[in-house]
């Protein structure tokens, strides 16, 4: 087995992606999340805890806790409690945890290639720390600038012409970085970069926490002070949980106009709105958006001539970010549902395992470092260009689902309401149909599709021009779409994937039989048809009806994948939603 691992070591969180036997890169899920905190806790006995384990230990002794080791990379040594640790050892603890999680997913396989990403403006001293920290974790180690990895990922679904430039705005947990990356001879190179190390997602969390204090604190100022400053164990535990809830509220406000934050006694729960959040962070986000136009000018370019602006980093999902970038640059930015995973996923594509190609010109963006055995040297490597049509975007790598014959129900989220709709396995398969007045599924149009290509997992499709991606669930390899101007909050298209333990193309009868068995055990379903045709595809169809909505389902079976599209609408919405659903099914392609 060949195993390649990419680690995006971030200020606040770290993302890990793997490729097994040269397959498409997949994000490693750690503790149920596609990212793991970069935090480190140094116990008195010398043990180094990483991630959520470190955050929990911090409640015991905060002095031994370092939440952002990447910010300390220049310091040489760190004092954590009474322990003086080399920065290299602290960084190595994070990388070791990341690689261990990757190897666990791959059944303990040896890491043949370890790819580490870093800010574009890091020099030889900082990158040397990364290489020293990674020594022995892989047979070969390479470094790739973060904006180059992002550009390679972006080029998989958005064509970047020869000589064209892409702006990358990375809003991470601790910093904001803007870069311009150009394509030249198949090589991506960084033309200019600048950043703001004083602002990031952690600062947004703090601003929101302080705002909550103004809402609930006046009733008992001393209790609030004790909560946010107290040194007692009980106070530290309450504070850790509260900060997690505040971070979750920030993420919810990216999708909804308001949310409630649960508070410990004696405080009432806090009601916060998106308008509150945008008011708190308006000024720093204006500065972040201004970095785009500034760095483009530094590169000697006009923003209007860019191939695009790509938003990456967890905080880039805040809607205000895209609006400000558009206002200041005149370019409509693009992003994906899990922007914090872009760099890790692109890094494995940016570094090929083939021998070095000739003719590549060394530049800031395409010089990587390589370490094999006990020696370190610099090399020049050409970033491999995408094949015609681009690469399909990679899938997340959640825990293996149970066998398909085990049935479960999972949620389809609509307007904040969880609607339980189940197919087979750990991942629900949503499906889509159109029915004529006889009840028979039919197709609508064969015209060329228009809209944005979405290729986030092991499938891709073209979303209708007036529909946007609004969320999803990486555990279910799910994408959710809603109209830009919805007539009803129940108008939703959901696409997800369930991996089977056998080849459904070769044994379609088994796949159909298992779907039928699950259908027979359910209520409020009708119209099961194992040989329906929709969008020019042979699919399994059935319909589920609830009090306020209907879901028409189409299931596509190919190889070891069961990919489904769910078309949900209220009583009067079928004709409104059906054309969009037909396009999704018609353009859907399974890539694994």
pLDDT digits (tens, 9 = 90+) for 6-31: 999 999 999 999 999 888 899 999 88
What distance in Å separates the CA atoms of residue 101 and residue 273, rounded to the nearest whole number? 37
H/E element, 395 = strand 395-397
Question: Could you report the per-residue pLDDT of 215-236, keeping only the tens digit for each?
Answer: 999 989 999 999 988 878 888 8
Among 248-257, 446-455, 534-543, 548-557, where is mean pLDDT lowest?
Answer: 446-455
What distance in Å separates the CA atoms of residue 312 and residue 167, rounded to the nearest whole number? 11
Q: How confident is the model at residue 174 (pLDDT cuts 50, 70, 90)?
A: confident
What distance in Å separates the CA atoms of residue 338 and residue 430, rounded to the nearest whole number? 20
Checking if the pLDDT of 472 tops 80, the result is no
SS3 139: coil
Q: Please, what sign has the CA dihedral across residues 476, 482, 488, 492?
A: negative
Which pLDDT does position 388 carry in this prediction? Answer: 29
Question: Could you report the per-residue pLDDT of 510-527, keeping only the tens digit for each?
Answer: 999 999 988 888 888 899
Q: How confident is the model at residue 105 (pLDDT cuts 50, 70, 90)?
A: very high
The stretch 573-592 carries a mean pLDDT of 89
Which pLDDT does position 236 carry in this prediction? Answer: 83
Checking if the pLDDT of 359 tops 80, the result is no
Which pLDDT does position 352 carry in this prediction? Answer: 61
The stretch 314-324 carries a mean pLDDT of 91
In order, the DSSP letters of 303-361 are GGG-SEEEEESGGGGSHHHHHHHHHHHS---B--S-GGGHHHHHHHHHS-SSPPPSSPP
The stretch 191-208 carries a mean pLDDT of 88
Domain boundaries, the chain: 3-148+341-380, 159-333, 400-590
Checking if the pLDDT of 358 tops 80, the result is no
Radius of gyration of the chain measured on its C-alpha atoms: 25
Q: How confident is the model at residue 86 (pLDDT cuts 50, 70, 90)?
A: very high
152 token code pair: 């390679």
Which pLDDT does position 397 carry in this prediction? Answer: 24
Topology of the domain covering 3-148+341-380: Nucleotidyltransferase; domain 5 (3.30.420)
What distance in Å separates the CA atoms of residue 452 and residue 459, rounded to the nearest whole number? 14
430 token code pair: 């949503």
Topology of the domain covering 159-333: Nucleotidyltransferase; domain 5 (3.30.420)
Q: Return mean pLDDT, the chain.
A: 81
Specify the residue for token string 């020594």.
135
Which pLDDT does position 395 carry in this prediction? Answer: 27
- Close Cβ partners of 334 (under 8 Å, ≥ 6 residues apart): 154, 158, 308, 309, 310, 311
Which pLDDT does position 552 carry in this prediction? Answer: 93
Quick check: do 159-333 and 400-590 share a fold? no
- Close Cβ partners of 130 (under 8 Å, ≥ 6 residues apart): 9, 91, 116, 118, 143
The stretch 338-353 carries a mean pLDDT of 85
What distance in Å separates the CA atoms of residue 545 and residue 400, rounded to the nearest whole number? 30
What distance in Å separates the CA atoms of residue 187 and residue 185, rounded to the nearest whole number? 5
E-only strand ranges, 81-149 = 83-86, 113-118, 140-145
Which pLDDT does position 144 carry in this prediction? Answer: 94
What distance in Å separates the CA atoms of residue 439 and residue 418, rounded to the nearest whole number? 28
Asked if the 400-590 domain carries CATH number 3.40.1000.10, the reply is: yes
Distances (CA, A) of 261 to 12, 27, 249, 282: 22, 29, 7, 21
- Close Cβ partners of 482 (under 8 Å, ≥ 6 residues apart): 467, 468, 470, 491, 492, 493
Q: How confident is the model at residue 456 (pLDDT cuts 50, 70, 90)?
A: low
Which pLDDT does position 555 carry in this prediction? Answer: 94
Which pLDDT does position 354 carry in this prediction? Answer: 32
């Amino acid at each position: 087995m060949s195993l390649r691992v990419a680690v995006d070591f971030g200020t606040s969180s770290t993302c890990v992606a793997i490729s097994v036997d040269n397959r498409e890169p997949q994000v490693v899920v750690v503790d149920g999340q596609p990212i793991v905190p970069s935090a480190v806790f140094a116990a008195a006995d010398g043990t180094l805890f990483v991630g959520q384990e470190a955050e929990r230990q911090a409640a015991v002794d905060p002095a031994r806790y370092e939440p952002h080791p990447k910010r300390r990379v220049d310091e040489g040594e760190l004092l954590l409690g009474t322990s003086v640790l080399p920065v290299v050892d602290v960084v190595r603890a994070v990388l070791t945890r990341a690689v261990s999680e990757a190897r666990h997913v791959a059944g303990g396989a040896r890491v043949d290639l370890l790819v580490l990403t870093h800010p574009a403006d890091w020099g030889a001293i900082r990158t040397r720390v990364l290489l020293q920290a990674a020594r022995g974790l892989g047979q070969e180690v390479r470094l790739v600038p973060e904006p180059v990895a992002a550009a390679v990922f972006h080029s998989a679904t958005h064509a970047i012409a020869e000589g064209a430039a892409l702006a990358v705005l990375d809003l991470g947990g601790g910093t904001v970085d803007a870069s311009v990356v150009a394509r030249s001879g198949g090589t991506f190179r960084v033309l200019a970069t600048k950043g703001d190390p004083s602002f990031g997602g952690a600062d947004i969390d703090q601003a929101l926490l302080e705002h909550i204090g103004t809402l609930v604190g006046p009733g008992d100022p001393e209790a609030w002070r004790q909560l946010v400053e107290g040194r007692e164990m009980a106070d530290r535990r309450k504070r850790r949980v509260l900060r997690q809830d505040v971070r979750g509220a920030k993420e919810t406000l990216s999708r909804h106009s308001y949310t409630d934050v649960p508070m410990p006694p004696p405080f009432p729960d806090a009601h916060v709105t998106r308008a509150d959040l945008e008011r708190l962070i308006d000024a720093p986000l204006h500065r972040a958006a201004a970095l785009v136009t500034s760095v483009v000018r530094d590169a000697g370019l006009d923003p209007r001539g860019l191939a695009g602006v790509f938003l990456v980093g967890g905080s880039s999902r805040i809607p205000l970010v895209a609006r400000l970038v558009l206002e200041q640059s005149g370019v409509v930015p693009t992003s994906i549902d899990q922007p914090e995973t872009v760099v890790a996923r692109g890094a494995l594509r940016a570094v090929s395992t083939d021998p070095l190609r000739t003719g590549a010109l060394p530049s800031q963006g395409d010089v990587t470092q390589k370490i094999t055995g006990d020696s370190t040297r610099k090399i020049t490597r050409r970033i491999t260009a995408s094949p015609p049509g681009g690469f399909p975007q990679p899938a997340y790598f959640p825990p293996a689902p149970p066998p398909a014959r085990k049935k479960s129900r999972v949620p389809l989220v609509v307007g904040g309401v969880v609607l339980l709709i189940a197919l087979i396995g750990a991942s629900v398969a949503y499906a889509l149909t159109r029915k004529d007045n006889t009840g028979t599924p039919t197709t609508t149009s064969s015209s060329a599709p228009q809209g944005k290509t979405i290729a986030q997992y092991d499938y891709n499709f073209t979303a209708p021009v007036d529909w946007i991606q609004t969320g999803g669930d990486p555990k279910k390899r799910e994408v959710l779409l809603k109209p830009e101007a919805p007539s009803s909050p129940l108008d939703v298209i959901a696409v997800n994937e369930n991996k089977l333990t056998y080849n459904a193309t070769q044994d379609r009868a088994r796949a159909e039989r298992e779907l039928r068995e699950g259908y027979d055990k359910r209520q409020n379903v009708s119209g099961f048809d194992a040989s329906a045709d929709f969008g020019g595809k042979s699919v399994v169809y059935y319909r589920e009806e609830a009090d306020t909505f209907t879901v028409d389902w189409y299931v596509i079976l190919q190889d070891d994948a069961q990919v489904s599209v769910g078309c949900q609408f209220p009583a009067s919405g079928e004709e409104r939603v059906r054309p969009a659903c037909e396009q999704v099914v018609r353009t859907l392609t399974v890539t694994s």
